[in-house]
Structures are given as structure tokens and as C-alpha cells.
Amino acid sequence: MAEIEIKSEIAGKVWQIEAEVGQSVDEDDPVVILESMKMEIPVGAPAAGKVTEILVAKDEAVAEGQTIARMET
């Protein structure tokens, strides 16, 4: 199995965490929802697989390109 890092595409704040460690997700399923400039931006899984680690917490600020979760396919 390959490990994939899920990265934030924008700088913002973690508004909601949609997936849990151990949860199976399909490609494009939201893992985390970020809030930036009063908009909600979902960060989806890049492939189908299982979430192995969530690296952020609700209300935490994240930078563009920051790894926010990991999954295996």
C-alpha cells in the first residue's frame, strides 16, 4: 500500500474535520473543510483509500501546501 499526503491547497483555518482515522474514503470525499475569506473549501481525498492520520485540529490555522492528513491506498 502506498502512503499519500493530503495537503491544503490554500491558507486558512480548519473549519471542520470530516473524516476519522481508520475511515475508508473514496476519491474526492472531503477529509477536512477549511475556511478562508468567509468561504468553506473542502479538501478531498486524492484517491480512494483509508485515512491513517489527521494532522490538524478544528480552528487551527494552516498554510498553503501544509500536509493536513495522511492516507494509504
Q: pLDDT tens digits, residue range 3-12?
A: 999 999 999 9
The residue among 18, 26, 17, 19 whose CA lies nearest residue 49 is 26
**Under 8 Å CB-to-CB from 64, ≥6 apart: which residues?**
8, 9, 10, 11
Q: What is the pTM of this model?
A: 0.91
Q: Which domains does the chain have, with CATH numbers?
A: 3-72 (2.40.50.100)
Q: pLDDT tens digits, residue range 17-65?
A: 999 999 999 999 999 999 999 999 999 999 999 999 999 999 999 999 9
